[in-house]
Every structure is written in C-alpha cells, then in structure tokens.
Amino acid sequence: MAFLKFLYRAVVAALVIIGVSAVYQNWDRLMFALQGRPAADELEFNRPASDASRPLVVSSDEKVVMEVFDRTHPAVVNIVATTLSMNFWMEVIPRQGQGSGFIIDKEGYVLTNDHVVSRAQDITVTLGDGKKAEAILVGRDPSTDIAVIKIPARFVTTVATLGDSSRLHVGQKAIAIGNPFGLSHSLTTGTVSALNREIRQSETTLTGLIQTDAAINPGNSGGPLLNSSGEVIGINSAIFSLSGGYQGIGFAIPINQARDVATQLIAHGHYAKPWLGIAGLAVTSEMAQILNLGVTEGVLVGDVAPMSPAFKGGLIGGQRELIVGNVRIPAGGDIILSIDGKKVRDMNAVITEINRRKVGETVKLDAWRNGKAVPVEVVLEERPRE
C-alpha cells in the first residue's frame, strides 16, 4: 500500500513538472496570444527572392559611384609614416601616423600630402590588394602641402587618372576615397561646395582650395577627390572641425596645382614656387572713401620686399600708416587691379594667380597710382627657401 501511494505521488509530481515546463516553454506564445500579438516563430516577413541570378537594382547615381570606386580604388594606397623620437629616459620611441595617397605613374610615384610624410624615417604603403611596399620620399613642399613618394614599379596595377580642376563648378559631385582612421579604401560622396577657399594650416596658408561636404576624416589626407568620371580633381587635405572629426566641411588641393608641384618634385626634388614679393590687403568701400583712393576694389600694396620681383618691377608699397576703424593701413602704395587681365580683389586672389604661373614668367599687372591706371610688368622669381 505504501508503495502504491509513493508511486501515485511520483506520477502526479511528474505530470505537474511536465505541465509547468510546457507552460514555460510556450510562455511567450501564451502572452503574445493574450495580447493579440504573434510569437516570434509565427512572424512572416517579405523576403527577396532567393534567385541568385536576379539583377541588382541600383539607381543611375549609385551606378556612377560604384563604377568610379571599382575603377579607381586599386590606385589608392594607405600610408603609414613612422617617426623616431626620444622619450624622457632617452629611449628611442617609434610613432606612427596614417594617411592616404594615390598612384600617378606606372613607375610607382605616389601623390600625397606633405604633412602625412614630412617627418617620417620609414614609409610603408599598403595597396588595394593588401600587399605592402616600402616607399622612399622623392620630394616635398610644405608651402603647398604636397609630397611625392615612390614604391617599386612591380607593385603598380592601376594608375589614377588626373582631371582638370580649372573646369570645376559648384554643385558637381565629389567622391572621396581614403583610409579614415585606418579603415582602408573607404568611400564617401558629396558635392563641390565652393571654390578658391583659403585656410591656415600649421605655418602655411593654402589658397585656391576646393571645399566639399564629402566626409573627410583623419587618415583621408592625401587621398583623391574625384568627379563622376573617375578623374582626380583634388587631394583631400584638411577639415574644418571643432572636434577633430568630420563636420561637413573639407578641403582639397586642386589637382592642377598638385600636378605642377609633383612634376617639379619628381624632376628636381624640390618645388620652385613663383614669388611676387608683396604684402597687401583688400580695398573696401569704407577704405576707398576715407582714403579717397579713386577705386573701390583691388589690393592695396602695403609692403614690397627689398630686391623682390615686385621691387624690381617698380611696384610701390605704402608710404605712411593710417588708422581706419582700429585697423592700421599702409597708405600711399599702388593698388593692384588685375593680373594678366583678371581682376583681383584680395591677397588670396593674387596668390592664387601667381601660383598658377612658373618661375621666369612675366606677369602684367594693372596698378592704380596717383589717380590713374599704370601697367607694371614683373618677372616672377623663386620664393626664397626658409
């Protein structure tokens, strides 16, 4: 009898356990049912057909970007620049910085920014196929933030196509490829937001820059900015940021300027930058009225460097100093109205026009002097090296 009672209780206990287990396992189904909602394994989603032959549907704009990437990214490289420094205990500590670049010649020449490789004792390049190559520094120019390095020609599979930045228009598509934060061959898109921008970078003022809203982050420096044809229109160089990251404003060096600098770096190891030899400021309507200048726009020459091309050409600098609105203005000098027939309204425009020329070229300036226009011819010379 005792055994039968025990067996009875065991069977009841087992049934209870099985019931509780069943309820637990289906608790979500029960609760969803009570709430009028299906359980997870009952949900049915619309899924694409599993046919692998079904064509990928992309917009015409997406197709353009995809084709540009496929055609260009093998020419884009990741650059790791290693510098050696001493710590407090006089131990040699290697430090690494990363940037981007792109191959411009089948011989292995790579165009990048000067600030990517400027202090490097060792330069390692990673190509699109993952292969690594040691690079040598061919030449660099801090004043334009452009440098050329070289890898062995056997590593070259694709060469970037260089475009014509003089034909750019605001609103064109801009495509950036680079290695932001070391994330190799990342692509971002945007537009050409503005042209001929000027920024101060370290101890150099860069002029004539392309402004873009294509995302540019640390590590993108030196990479290409491309148009919809896959042509390089600029070298991604800088960002405007309060945080150090992307905030919608990036800048690129126009490829026409970069091409000229790179050609000289490859041929001579340095860049002979054309030099006029003046300092000046933009004429404003207030300034023109107070000083009775006779013109309302142009560049007032404040200082002419001794024995500079401007000095030899006869340009006259300020003769006296006046204060206009708490600003000291050197008065009495020439006002440059145009360079080779192109109007200039500020020093940025003057520098941009001079940078488009070569050492030894003669430029014709229209200057305003003593109430009348005076032609001045200046033969450009190489900027003195620091």
21 included as an active-site residue: no
Catalytic entry in 73, 100, 114, 115: 115
> What would the two tokens of residue 29 be?
């189904």
CA 10 and chain centroid, separation? 78
Distance in angstroms (rounded) separating the CA atoms of residues 127 and 314: 52
Amino acid found at 215: A
Residue type at 133 in one-letter notation: A
Kind of pairing, strands 161-162 and 231-239?
parallel
The answer to whether 185 is a known catalytic residue is no
CB 231 within 8 A of CB 195: no
Query: What sign for the dihedral angle of Cα 65, 70, 75, 80?
Result: positive
Measured CA to CA, the distance from residue 72 to residue 271 in angstroms comes to: 27
274 within 8 A of 382, measured Cβ to Cβ: yes
Active-site residue, from 114, 145, 334, 366: 145
What counts of helices (H) and strands (E) characterise the chain?
8, 23
d(CA 97, CA 140): 17
Q: What is the helix, strand, coil percentage profile of the chain, to 5?
A: 25, 40, 35
Instruction: Check if 270 is active-site.
Output: no
The residues annotated with a catalytic role in the active site are: 115, 145, 221
